[in-house]
Amino acid sequence: MNEIEWQISETAVDYPDAVRTMERRVAQIRAGTAPELVWLLEHPPLYTAGTSAKATDLLEANRFPVFNTGRGGQYTYHGPGQRIAYVMLNLRRRDRDVRCFVRNLEEWIMATLAGFGIEGKREDGRIGVWVDRGQGRGIGKVAAVGVRIRHWVTFHGISLNVDPDLSHYDGIVPCGIDDAAVTSLLDLGVTATMAEVDAALRYCFDSVFSPETVAAPPTAFDRFAAAGR
């Protein structure tokens, strides 16, 4: 059970179905009957409320379905054009350190962005990955992180904006942050397919999360350089 399984859903997955699937897999990982899993998918347009969500941050309650969820964080949006990565890992095989796990998720995203020529960064006191939007537009959040851990097995994970409709964020105060924008690869001038993003995520993953690997994550990949990206 040492190999990590990767799954990609080709069609949008309803949020309740995704949660049920994660719950089932987490129990199997804990029992040792299924391998760890990274699940890449998209959701139909919806809002989710984390354990720290404030009712006042839901600005348009009737715009999209709203789901309460056990992950950390506040309100966020999921929808087409956004790559969700649900990460189900057994932290008993790694450091039993929740903060380290969250930072590794951020590191994974930043390494992935670097392959597309985007410099991701952290902002003090703010979870997720941020970028300079250029042209004097200030910083923007390009990826969110929200996790839950049960018996040291992780679930939920990250959402990376590839080319979603950014106006869909108008119905919430995303992650409780009202003084910065949300952005995407497309908004940053990078045209990438979901398949390219998936390849980049997988390329960077082992250097951050492999129990045997301690090296820093790569900042670029030969396959994208060869393609002229």
Residue 222 has a pLDDT of: 36
Q: What is the mean pLDDT of the chain?
A: 89
Average pLDDT over residues 39-46: 98
Whether 204 is catalytic is no
Instruction: Decide which of 11 and 213 is more confident.
Output: 11
Residues 6+ apart with CB under 8 A from 69: 19, 48, 49, 50, 146, 156
pTM score of the predicted model: 0.89
Query: Using the 8-state DSSP alphabet, how is residue 29 labeled?
Result: H
Residue 73 has a pLDDT of: 87
Is residue 91 helix, strand or coil?
A: helix
User: What's at 152, amino acid-wise?
Assistant: W
Residue in 49, 175, 188, 204 annotated catalytic = 175
Instruction: Decide which of 126 and 13 is more confident.
Output: 13
CB 85 within 8 Å of CB 40: yes
Average pLDDT over residues 191-196: 97
Least confident range from 32-46, 151-165, 204-218: namely 204-218
- Which of these, 84, 12, 60, 81, lies nearest to 169 by C-alpha position? 60
Q: What is the pLDDT of residues 208-229, one digit of tens each?
A: 986 543 333 333 333 333 333 3
Q: What is the pLDDT of residues 57-103, one digit of tens each?
A: 999 999 999 999 988 889 999 999 999 999 999 999 888 899 999 99
Size of the chain in residues: 229
Q: What is the DSSP string of 144-164?
A: EEEEEEETTEEEEEEEEESS-
Domains in the chain, please, with CATH?
A: 5-226 (3.30.930.10)
CB 5 within 8 Å of CB 37: yes
Q: How many CA within 13 A on the CB side of residue 39?
A: 24
